[in-house]
Amino acid sequence: MDTGPSARSHGTRGVEHVENGTTTPHVPPQPSAPPVPSAAPRGAPPLADWLRTPRPEAEPGIWRCGHDPLPAADPDRTPARQLASGAVVSFLIGWLVWSLLWNGYLGDYWLWPLLALTPEDWRQGADDKTAFVVAHYLYYGLVLAGLAAVFGRLGHWDEVGRRAAARLKGRSRTSPRAAGPPPPGEDPVVWPQLRRAGGGSEQAAERLSAEVLAGRMSDVDHARIERAWQSVRSRPVGLPQFTEAVLRDGAAACTHPSGARDLPSRAARHDLSLSQVRIGTAADDDRNPQDYRGAGLALEPALLGTSALAVGPSGAGKTTRLVRPVVESLCLQALAGQAAVVAVTSSGTKPAPDDAFDVVVRPGRPESAYDLDLYGGTDDPDEAAALLAEALVGDLADGLPGGDSRRAATTLAQLLGPFRTAHGRFPAVPELRELLDGVPGPLAALREALGRDPARPGHRAHLRELDAYERQLGRPGDTGTLLADRVALLDRPAFADFFAPPGLARGAAGGDHRPFSLRALEHPLRVRIDLPERGHAEASRILARLVLAQFTDAALARDDQSLFACLVLDDADRTITPQALRGLQRLRSGHAGVLLTLRALDDVPEPLRGPLLGAVGCRVACAGVTPWDAERFAEVWGTEWVQTRDVTNRQLVSDEPLTKLMHGIRRMVTGRHVTAESVTVRTVQRQRWSASDLANELEPGQAVVSFTTVRGRRTPPVLARLGE
């Protein structure tokens, strides 16, 4: 990159980063002045107006761009239907009274004030009775005004008018409202913070303001330069380089190492100033809290940092209405130097075009330019063994000695340590399979390689590891055979050119793929891993567990955690393990998160279903969820205090003759006995969403979602329509 301040976050353009023998991708440089992308977001006003759009503080998960908060709920507020019917009835009664007065059915008594206040000459002696006529109409107007005041108060006409005006006002705002230009010292278009920094930054602010007003800057450019400016504020020594880059390149300053300044296309609404992506709209329903009714819903790093889980059958919209917008948003944030994203999908499912990613890994596909490092880019045998054991047998924890994958990790470490010491690298898949099978030749060759240099550090310790491994071969509790069977799923002809460890000559491994390691999460990378789900389902599950384990380890091991790292795992079938749950709970402190989707919780072992819902902070129950899964969601969302009204009717019996006569007449007219109504109000606990409601009342496209921020603030479940 040609700017010093952001090199720490963005990396260096045109140079491959080498970490433990694994290379992060080298993206070919693009022209220094790429074509200016279209103004964003799609359908929004120009960037200047978009920057000035109000973004008021709101509850977690609310789309804040142009958000218009609803007034606080009024417990004494009359329902609209009741208010309208009361207004109509009061108007009809008032009209009836006036009609009776006008037509003389009530006599002339209501004219007495007029007759008493006007001279008799006006009515009898004078030839010109204009004054009397005027007085009459004035009096009629006063009577009408009095009737309107009385019946208007009874029918709450003023409240009806206020609500009608508010509704008409709400219907006439078709796009996010844009306020007028704020004061010069607060206008984001003129970069006020940059102007106040001094040191020649005024010229940089002028250049950026001109780029905005001329339409040469997009929302990605603004977010990227703002990110670089925040880095400069924390390290003021980089201000001269930042200013020089802005004056030279304008809106193209501090570009992503790939040279891209936008995605080829967008399908969702984004607000990069807040890192939000809109995923739907909350229903205007009594079940929803007042603040959420009718508001847009959005996801952002502050929510994804607690990890998210979406459950629903195929076709419920998990991929198109949730995964794709989130992946698209994270790719935009990566271009702005704010995030790193790894999207794991099945082959053929693309959350975004290939051009939207810096690295596309396709195991089993000859055209793939990148390979996946099975050992996670580490040179520690114990760490590599733990990650690989989690991937190979993590889903079989209940059937392993000790109840988890630690025994399998120990077995792998007994082989990986000596092999790395002897050869300076970890074994390739065929070599590891032979060692796990206990083939005498490879084990003897490894022992011989260690014996060539008895003075090598750890020589005796590694020989003891091999001795311990050989003693366990074939005995009860031996995990080597199980590990060998699982490794055999990766030792297939389709994967012959893949999974070569760093340090192995490419000619020996075959193929021309470069190994990719998730240790590259230090940089704002966009990565997609397409799993060969159709022909190699078991191998795909192993690779999915491997990516999840490596992501958790790499995200927490980063020296610079200013970038938000996110793993999007579309279809996490048989991927959740006890170790994976422990990793999910630790990600929040490492500025990272995971988005998981499942067709049903049955894809997760029974003992882990409840802990999984408890480990993630954001939960989405899509339409069509099974009653058993709905019960789990209803349990985790808990209960709330509500007021219930019990109405009891009892028949009235009277011994008074007149009262009995009136009751008899009323019974003859209505056909019912005369009763007295008794209302009892109680405060009880009820489930926020019952399992029956979740399983049976959600319409296609609807979902119930809840959010949790990284600071621990939780929201109640909200009924929403995804994709709107």
Q: Where are the domains of the chain?
A: 7-72+178-252, 80-165, 308-375+515-631, 382-489, 640-687
Q: Pick the closest to residue 352 from 267, 415, 416 (CA basis).
A: 267
The rounded distance, in Å, linking the Cα atoms of 356 and 262 is 9
Is the pLDDT confidence value at 111 over 70?
A: yes
Strand 675-687 versus strand 639-651 pairing type = antiparallel
Tokens of 26: 């080298």
Residue 176 has a pLDDT of 43
Please give the CATH number for the structural domain made up of 308-375+515-631: 3.40.50.300
445-471: average pLDDT:
82
Q: What percent of the chain has pLDDT over 70?
A: 86
Residue 721 belongs to what H/E stretch? Answer: strand 718-722
Residue 68 has a pLDDT of 87
DSSP-assigned letter for residue 179:
P
Residue 361 has a pLDDT of 93
Q: How confident is the model at residue 7 (pLDDT cuts 50, 70, 90)?
A: very low
CA atoms within 13 A on the CB side of 601: 22
Q: What share of the chain is helix, strand, coil (3-state, %, to 5)?
A: 45, 15, 40
Is the pLDDT confidence value at 21 over 70?
A: no
Is the pLDDT confidence value at 510 over 70?
A: no
Residue 29 has a pLDDT of 37
Q: Could you report how far apart the first and last alpha carbons of the chain are, in Å?
A: 38
The pTM score is 0.81
Using CA atoms of 547, 553, 555, 556 in order, give the dihedral in degrees to the nearest 10.
160
How buried is residue 437: exposed, middle or buried, by Cβ count under 10 Å (0-12/13-18/19+)?
middle
By mean pLDDT, which of 198-207, 336-345, 461-470, 639-648 is the weakest?
639-648
Q: What are phi and psi of 262, to 5 degrees?
A: -170, 170
Query: Could you give the 3-state DSSP secondary structure of residue 593?
Result: strand
Task: Output Rg (C-alpha) for the chain, integer angstroms.
Answer: 36
Is the pLDDT confidence value at 398 over 70?
A: no
Residue ranges with strand state E in 212-299: 270-271, 276-282, 296-299
Highest mean pLDDT pick, 126-140, 466-480, 598-612, 673-687: 598-612
Residue 74 has a pLDDT of 65
Residue 705 has a pLDDT of 97
The rounded distance, in Å, linking the Cα atoms of 523 and 539 is 28
Query: Could you give the 3-state DSSP secondary structure of residue 48?
Result: helix
Give per-residue pLDDT as tens, 644-663.
888 888 887 777 888 887 87
The rounded distance, in Å, linking the Cα atoms of 689 and 696 is 11
Q: How confident is the model at residue 669 (pLDDT cuts 50, 70, 90)?
A: low
Is the pLDDT confidence value at 617 over 90?
A: yes
Query: Could you give the 3-state DSSP secondary structure of residue 171?
Result: helix
By mean pLDDT, which of 161-165, 301-305, 340-344 is the weakest?
161-165
Q: Identify whether the C-beta of residue 359 lies closer than 8 Å to the C-beta of residue 25.
A: yes
510-516: average pLDDT:
73
Q: Which is higher by pLDDT, 277 or 100?
A: 277
Is the pLDDT confidence value at 39 over 90?
A: no
Residue 37 has a pLDDT of 36
Q: Identify whether the C-beta of residue 361 lies closer than 8 Å to the C-beta of residue 22.
A: no
Is the pLDDT confidence value at 225 over 80?
A: yes
Identity (one letter) of the amino acid at 279?
A: I
Look over the chain and give the mean of its residue pLDDT values, rounded to a whole number: 84
Is the pLDDT confidence value at 211 over 80?
A: yes
Helices then strands, counting H and E runs in the chain, come out as 26, 18
Is the pLDDT confidence value at 210 over 80?
A: yes
